[in-house]
Structure 1
Amino acid sequence: MPRLYLIRHGKPASTWGDADADPGLDETGQAQAEAARDWLLSLPEAERPQRVVSSPLRRCRETAEPTARALGVAVEIDPIVGEIPTPEALHPTERASWLRKVFEGTWREIQGDLDYDQWRREIVGSLRARGDTAVFSHYVAINAVVSHLLDDDRVLHFRPDHASITVLETDGQGLTLVAKGREAVTGVL
């Protein structure tokens, strides 16, 4: 059965609320991107990804690039696997506190400009159609997929570490969780 690999981006050069709204990777993050590439390339040929998809954000694109180069493919950008949309009325400096509240609740409880439970289902729908793909995404988006597959409405289901790899299988109609990625030992992000 075709496999999908959800890879959280490597460690960014800055975090929530810093001056750079779209940071790239720091040195640790670059090493993590190379380690993710090496792990994916170590897979048996039949399980190795053939495509590379990334969130449009720089930290994901930079994490995806070593894998794409090694596979000889272009990075495909897909906004649906991007960060959780922040409500428009929220000032950027308030994003961190908004996310902390989001992490304490369920998908149906999130207050914002859109239906976040629907956003979660759209991510899953996007992934169902893919096979043999490495998808470079974000903490919340990966939680969205895992919580949906486990039929668990909590937003924060697990704490994927930077460059951790969550493995899924798809038959084109459904997704199955094979293994959650390595969890972070320390803080959320």
Structure 2
Amino acid sequence: MPRIYMIRHGKAAAGWGADADPGLDGEGQAQSEAVAKEITERVGDAAPLPLVTSPLKRCRETSVPLARLWSAVPQVEAAVSEIPSPTEDLDERAAWLRRVMPGTWTDIAKDEVSGDVDFTGWRDSLVAQLQSISEDTVIFSHFIAINAAVGGATGDDRVVCFRPDNCSVTEFDVTDAGLKVVSLGREADTIVR
């Protein structure tokens, strides 16, 4: 059965309220180097595995050390990107995310700023993409996307099921019955900046 290693990107140089697509800061780059070594040790002789990354800069930059180590080219996949933003206004976007994170996917549709974005459809599409994976794979993704996968695997409707730290690794198995959580990544307090 395929194993998915879903890695949250390294620490970004800016938050949701400051930059629509920030890269990594120095700490994030160091975290990326460390997780490349960690994943290589975890998978052992199975390396190299296919690499998949969100199109956002912080994930693409997080994938670089492992791609370099394995002489691989990550596939860019929009389905594992961060939750879509209902607004382009950065301050409003950060306030919206802070407001919806404590709730459920059902609640998001009722939020005044959410508009016509189909957030449940986004979550279901992400889970379907993961369930279609047919071989062990490493994915570089985002806080909410990883939570959406955990919620999809466990039937939990909360937007935030746990708080994956930067460059933590959450493992899933793809089974005939669907996605199964093997282990949650290391947790940390996450503040929407």
TM-score by length of 1: 0.91
Unaligned runs of 5+ in 2: none
Q: Please, which of 146, 153, 162 is the counterpart of residue 149 of structure 1?
A: 153
Percent identity of equivalent pairs: 48
Total equivalences in the alignment: 187
Q: Deviations over 1:118-166 (max 9, x none)?
A: 2111101111122211100000000101011111101111111001100
Q: Is the 8 A contact 1:147 1:154 kept in 2?
A: yes
The answer as to 2:128 corresponding to 1:128 is no
- Aligned mates of 2:95, 2:46 — CA distance in 1: 39
Structure 2 match to 1:102: 100
- Aligned mates of 2:82, 2:43 — CA distance in 1: 31
The answer as to 2:74 corresponding to 1:75 is yes
- Aligned mates of 1:37, 1:172 — CA distance in 2: 29
Structure 2 match to 1:66: 65
Question: Counterpart of 1:122 in structure 2: which amino acid?
Answer: S
Structure 2 match to 1:161: 165
Structure 2 match to 1:56: 55
Question: Counterpart of 1:182 in structure 2: which amino acid?
Answer: R
- Aligned mates of 1:163, 1:5 — CA distance in 2: 11
Structure 2 match to 1:84: 83
Q: Is the 8 A contact 1:49 1:134 kept in 2?
A: no
Unaligned runs of 5+ in 1: none
Q: Is the 8 A contact 1:128 1:173 kept in 2?
A: no
Q: Deviations over 1:35-63 (max 9, x none)?
A: 11001100243654611111111000000
- Aligned mates of 2:81, 2:190 — CA distance in 1: 23
CA separation of 1:158 and 1:24: change in aligned 2, threshold 3 A: same
Question: Counterpart of 1:2 in structure 2: which amino acid?
Answer: P
Using the TM superposition, give the Cα deviation of residue 114 of structure 1 relative to its aligned residue in structure 2, in angstroms. 2.4
Q: Is the 8 A contact 1:8 1:165 kept in 2?
A: yes
CA separation of 1:186 and 1:73: change in aligned 2, threshold 3 A: closer
- Aligned mates of 2:60, 2:155 — CA distance in 1: 30
Structure 2 match to 1:138: 142
Q: RMSD of aligned C-alpha atoms?
A: 1.8
Question: Counterpart of 1:103 in structure 2: which amino acid?
Answer: M
Using the TM superposition, give the Cα deviation of residue 21 of structure 1 relative to its aligned residue in structure 2, in angstroms. 2.1
Q: Is the 8 A contact 2:97 2:192 kept in 1?
A: no
- Aligned mates of 1:49, 1:127 — CA distance in 2: 19
TM-score by length of 2: 0.90
